[in-house]
Structure 1
């Protein structure tokens, strides 16, 4: 695939159909995000924030300040957690909640990935079926015009059974 010239918009070389497909898929993803349950949206928002540099900076400031204060390095401020037990407990509870929110987000993302994988499989099976039919049609045209037949055409014309492929893969994995 060639890259467009530097001064050309990135989508200038895309077909109208491809552009429309991208727009439809993006619109669907946005609608699904808007319609997601409140818990999922909340978990995603927390996970996005927890995975940002702003989160790291805020925690560095918060924990750093806590440590400096409780080491007694700030004149006039008496330590309130000199053994850092409260800080350790707070960090542990936060870790429990953050890991739960991350798992919720990962489960949702895995479900989306599973749906996309299923869609890919169905589209691939449909394309294989259509190409099988086209191979038969091309062979009939070749026969009509007197062209030489390809010896592999019989194999190409056969539909592939997804069940047989899965059975073969399962057998191979168990060996």
Structure 2
């Protein structure tokens, strides 16, 4: 008697392959979402660090000159991690970010520096160097400065943008 032997084929069924593809897709989606969160936190931390350093430069300038600088650009050794900043406020012709507001005269002399991270979160720093979340989108200086604690109605009020019309000024 002759026996017929069948060779068992080896391989995966289409259903098994589809399940593996779906699982890989889900894992990839989770990884991308987690990476974006880490990247946003890194950009936020970098912007906060830059603001703290800029605040130190402004305070040192004030100690040496008995007044806050007219612009951040007039300070020496200004360095920021430009890749961590978002585009901020768009005025119709260009993007603006890294806003410096100041009142330079009298007992009301103060300043604030406001900037937006690539994550979209805006931060501010003022005298004392404490960086806080701004809580608002950077719109115009007339809106952002008072929200940061610098009144636009005081004598000696001034403002400058260090990221102006989409280009860094230093």
The TM-score by the shorter chain falls in which range? 0.3 to 0.5
Higher relative helix content = 1
More strand, by proportion = 2
Q: Which has the larger radius of gyration?
A: 1
